[in-house]
């Protein structure tokens, strides 16, 4: 079974630029999560989808971050405009149903200069 795929693996941008990350969850997994992991911290949940609907986006900075999962499969997370403090690893995870084990992708490391 293929794991959670993410791209790109690394991205370097300047502040005020825009960036987008892509995630393809494990086939059949209804729930998809985006986490932000700042260096030295644990992953912090940004947004949770159930199929193509948002379950929780209370910790998503909506003035600059947006995410979508239009067909209930893959998802994109966008930052516009980026700030220095957005430098982090962005992790995508999925599970078959709420409460099941979450499987994580390898993450996208974003550096904002």
Give the closest residue to 33 by CA, choosing from 17, 25, 41. Answer: 25
**Residue 29 neighbours by CB distance under 10 Å:** 17
Nearer to another protein, 34 or 80 (CB): 34
Among 24, 69, 77, 105, binds another protein (CB under 8 A): 105
Give the closest residue to 35 by CA, choosing from 81, 83, 88. Answer: 88
- Residues in contact with another protein, shown as a per-residue x/- string from 63 to 102 under the rule CB under 8 A: ----------------------------x-x----xx-xx
Site for another protein in 30-49 (CB under 8 A): 40-45, 48
Q: Does 56 bind another protein (CB under 8 A)?
A: yes
Q: Does 28 bind another protein (CB under 8 A)?
A: no
Q: Does 25 bind another protein (CB under 8 A)?
A: no
Look at residue 56 and give its three-state secondary structure. Answer: strand
Question: What is the spatial distance between Cα 103 and Cα 47, in angstroms, rounded to a whole number?
Answer: 15
Min separation Cβ 96 and another protein, Å: 12
Residues in contact with 38: Cβ distance below 8 Å, sequence separation at least 6, in sequence order: 44, 87, 88
Which spans of this chain sit near another protein (rule: CB under 8 A)?
4, 9, 40-45, 48, 56, 91, 93, 98-99, 101-107
């Amino acid at each position: 079974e293929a794991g959670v795929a993410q791209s790109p693996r690394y991205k370097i941008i300047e502040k005020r630029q825009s960036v987008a990350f892509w995630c393809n969850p494990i086939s059949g997994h209804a729930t998809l999560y985006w986490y932000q992991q700042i260096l030295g911290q644990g992953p912090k949940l940004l947004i949770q989808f159930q199929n193509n609907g948002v379950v929780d986006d209370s910790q998503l900075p909506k003035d600059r971050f947006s995410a979508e999962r239009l067909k209930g499969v893959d998802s994109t997370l966008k930052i516009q405009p980026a700030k220095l403090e957005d430098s982090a690893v962005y992790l995508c995870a999925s599970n078959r149903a709420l409460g099941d084990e979450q499987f994580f992708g390898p993450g996208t490391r974003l550096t904002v200069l």
